[in-house]
């Protein structure tokens, strides 16, 4: 007897609508819980993931090794270093500042969205986790659409939530549907609040489908850079090379926190060549412990093309270092060139800090994080000031010695804000080489606060207006 199969064109949309119905009901119970109780429950889930012996982190590392092209060693190191930088205490303090302070200081009340759709993007699990947890603190249930590049994080996160809190678990549903399932996407985008991570084109497409009455929070294409000055001694030079090599290698240079170029400000040419060689050596050492995973055919072709171009420029003074799974190109100028990723880093010389700012202006709005070493930064007037070397919000945390080639250093004073000139370029965080991919949980992603973009407030002002009449 033959088996009959039916094509059900709106199956994905019906699953979304069914999930919406369940989430709306769960949201009523979630919204009745006090803000402090929701925050404590989500912080407990975070603690389960960030503690050194987290079974969820181990399980996720094993699952990602099966489902993604990253190697097991790269996944484990990336998860351990990133999630250990997420302190539940910082998460709680940030929520209290942004939300608790607002509701307690005046007559504003937090009014949760009936449900929030989160469209995950990219291959890194940390943004998916954080985007899925934030609305729960605000009292809004979450429909989390998995990214095709990471089909495991959302489901494991749901299981960890269920272990901690049944009310939270009922208000969180992961879902998967193909990118070309427009009916399912339209149903998911009916949520009053939509959060999305992806390319600028993806965000523009999603935004065009939403109405003005919906809240949309999008995190688009950005990249990070290194800025290195000539004031380092040999030990500092080796440390900077080791740190930058780790930043390039983590997650195989995926995500907005990966550096794609390093600017060498005011360096003599021989010093540039020396650093390029040191960086090549450092990348080889990192690769021995964190080998690169498989790369897509298009990326492999792009890397091969850029290597050929770099060989031709080497005849005019440039340099090219070709490893089995990395590439270092020392250019003779700072003109923009393609970034094929896959552990491909360009070193771009610039004469001065002012020339550096001019070189970065075409990328305004697309810069994310900057790591500094051996250079003092320039403010909006072109004056030189001391640059921060660490995350002010990320004091050292005790970790196993093998977690990172870069030893922890003391955090700086919090009195080192990002100057307006850098903020206008889009920079939202300064750090040191080796720490680009391990931001604190409360860093202002894309320059935005953590909770406020997803929150809805109302104000009651019912006092009687009186007019004195003589």
pLDDT at 302: 97
Instruction: Output the average pLDDT for the chain.
Output: 88
Domain positions in the chain: 13-221, 223-446
pLDDT at 13: 96
Reported as a pLDDT band with limits 50, 70 and 90, residue 466 is low
pLDDT tens for each residue of 108-135:
899 999 999 999 998 999 999 999 999 9
The answer to pTM > 0.95 is no
In three-state secondary structure terms, 407 is: coil
CB 342 within 8 A of CB 324: no
| Encoded tokens for 279 | 């960086």
pLDDT tens for each residue of 160-193:
999 999 999 999 999 999 989 999 999 999 999 9
CATH of 223-446, one of 3.40.309.10, 3.40.630.30, 1.20.1290.10, 1.10.150.120: 3.40.309.10
Share of the chain above pLDDT 90, in %: 79
* Residue reference for tokens 């009523």: 28
CATH superfamily of 13-221: Aldehyde Dehydrogenase; Chain A, domain 1 (3.40.605.10)
pLDDT tens for each residue of 206-242:
999 999 999 999 999 999 999 999 989 999 999 999 9
Distances in whole angstroms, Cα of residue 392 to Cα of each of 99, 412, 430, 449: 22, 6, 9, 16
**Chain centroid offset of residue 276 CA:** 27
65 burial (CB, 10 Å; 0-12 / 13-18 / 19+) is: middle
Distance CA 267, CA 160 (A): 50
Distance CA 135, CA 115 (A): 9
Q: Is the pLDDT of residue 383 over 70?
A: no
């Amino acid at each position: 007897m033959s088996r009959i199969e039916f094509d059900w064109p709106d199956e994905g949309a019906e699953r979304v609508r069914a999930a919406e119905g369940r989430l709306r009901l769960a949201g009523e119970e979630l919204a009745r819980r006090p803000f402090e109780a929701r925050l404590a429950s989500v912080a407990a889930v975070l603690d389960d993931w960030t503690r050194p012996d987290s079974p969820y982190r181990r399980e996720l590392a094993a699952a990602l090794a099966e489902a993604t092209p990253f190697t097991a060693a790269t996944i484990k190191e990336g998860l351990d270093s990133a999630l250990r930088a997420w302190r539940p205490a910082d998460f709680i303090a940030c929520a209290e500042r942004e939300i608790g302070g607002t509701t307690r200081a005046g007559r504003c009340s937090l009014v949760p969205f009936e449900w929030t759709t989160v469209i995950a993007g990219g291959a890194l699990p940390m943004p998916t986790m954080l985007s899925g947890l934030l609305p729960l603190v605000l009292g809004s249930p979450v429909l989390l659409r998995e990214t095709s590049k990471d089909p495991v994080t959302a489901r494991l996160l749901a299981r960890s939530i269920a272990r901690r809190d049944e009310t939270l678990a009922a208000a969180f549903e992961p879902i998967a549907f193909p990118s070309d399932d427009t009916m399912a996407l339209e149903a998911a985008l009916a949520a009053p609040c939509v959060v999305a991570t992806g390319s600028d084109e993806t965000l523009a497409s999603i935004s065009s489908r939403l109405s003005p009455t919906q809240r949309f929070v999008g995190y688009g294409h950005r990249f990070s850079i290194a800025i290195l000055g000539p004031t380092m001694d040999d030990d500092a030079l080796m440390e900077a090379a080791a740190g930058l090599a780790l930043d390039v290698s983590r997650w195989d240079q995926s995500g907005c926190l990966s550096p794609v170029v390093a600017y060498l400000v005011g360096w003599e040419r021989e010093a540039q060549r020396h650093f390029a060689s040191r960086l090549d050596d450092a990348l080889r050492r990192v690769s021995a412990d964190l080998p690169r995973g498989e790369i897509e055919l298009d990326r492999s072709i792009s890397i091969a093309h850029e290597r050929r171009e770099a060989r031709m420029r080497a005849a005019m003074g440039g340099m090219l270092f070709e490893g089995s799974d990395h590439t270092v190109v020392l250019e003779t100028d700072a003109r923009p060139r393609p970034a094929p990723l896959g552990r491909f880093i360009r070193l771009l010389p610039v004469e001065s800090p002012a020339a550096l700012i001019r070189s970065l202006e075409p990328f305004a709005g697309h810069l994310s994080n900057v790591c500094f070493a051996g250079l003092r930064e320039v403010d909006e007037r072109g004056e030189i000031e001391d640059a921060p070397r660490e995350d002010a919000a990320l004091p050292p945390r005790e970790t196993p010695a093998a977690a990172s080639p870069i030893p922890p250093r003391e955090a700086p004073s919090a009195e080192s804000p990002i100057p307006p000139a850098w903020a206008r370029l889009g920079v939202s965080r300064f750090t040191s080489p080796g720490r680009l991919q391990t931001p604190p949980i409360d860093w202002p992603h894309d320059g935005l606060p953590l909770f406020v973009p997803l929150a809805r407030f109302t104000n009651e002002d019912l006092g009687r207006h009186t007019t004195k009449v003589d």
